[in-house]
Amino acid sequence: MYPASKITSKYIALCLLFALLLLFPFKNFIANVLMLFSDQRLPAISQNSKRIENLEKNNLLLSLELKKLNILENENNKLRKALDFRTEKNINIVGADIISFDPSSWRRVVLINTGKNEGLKVGMYAIDYNGYLIGRIIAVKNNYSRLMLIDDPEFNLAVFIGNDALGMLAGGLDSLKILYIDHSDKINLNDVVWFKIPLTAYPLYIGRVTKINENKENLFFEVEVKSFNSNTLLNKVFILK
């Protein structure tokens, strides 16, 4: 132990000065000067840190949104159970390579290298890299399957147009068409054509309305659709299980 009397006045003065520096608003001034200096000297770091801050902010918002959606999903499931609706199933994705094409130019059918062994079944849907619908499985063997693309003349599918209308998408080599749309349905150019995978809540987007043929003599509208998937050189597809 050192008695207080032994502490010299020099040390006391130093301690007081240090305390003064800590308490004095001058501290903020120094910090600001340092920040200004670092901002000027290192603009890239500053930009990156701002980007990181924004991303963190977005991440937080998204995680909050996800929590909210989880709560809503639970609530939805409870209500579905209460109302005795069919429960939704989750989907899984299997990647597949295209190994060959139908030799006829009039067909749009491809052979893919996954089959029953990977759990594929007839009627499953295929999407491209961007998640747009590109076709449906029509035949499955152990190691390979046949996939009919949406522009095959024999392809058809019940689809939604925008928010209100329903129709039947028919494939074609010239263009995709939607048939059997009633005149009372409201359809506009650029409406999105989509469909929902059965038993799930996942929407799959197909294309956009490009032409509406309103022939009053016909019972139905005839609508032309431009597919979102414009890649003619397909090599990889993803099957929704």
Site of interaction with another protein (CB under 8 A): 100-109, 138, 146, 148, 151, 153-154, 172-175, 231-234
Task: Count CB neighbours of 77 within 10 A.
Answer: 13
Nearer residue to another protein within complex by CB, 92 or 230: 230
Please name the residue that has the structure tokens 């150019």: 189
Nearer residue to another protein within complex by CB, 149 or 165: 149
Q: What is the CA radius of gyration of the chain?
A: 32
Closest approach, Cβ 181 to another protein, in A, equals 19
Closest approach, Cβ 108 to another protein, in A, equals 7
Please return the burial class of 236, using the count of CB atoms within 10 Å of its CB with bins 0-12, 13-18 and 19+: exposed
Closest approach, Cβ 238 to another protein, in A, equals 18
Tally the C-alpha atoms within 13 A of residue 138's C-alpha that lie toward its C-beta: 14
Tally the C-alpha atoms within 13 A of residue 108's C-alpha that lie toward its C-beta: 21
Nearer residue to another protein within complex by CB, 17 or 173: 173
* Residues near 164 by beta carbon (within 8 Å), at least 6 away in sequence: 185, 186, 187
Nearer residue to another protein within complex by CB, 111 or 197: 111
Closest approach, Cβ 229 to another protein, in A, equals 11
Closest approach, Cβ 41 to another protein, in A, equals 53
Hey, what are 37's tokens? 């200096």
Nearer residue to another protein within complex by CB, 91 or 98: 98
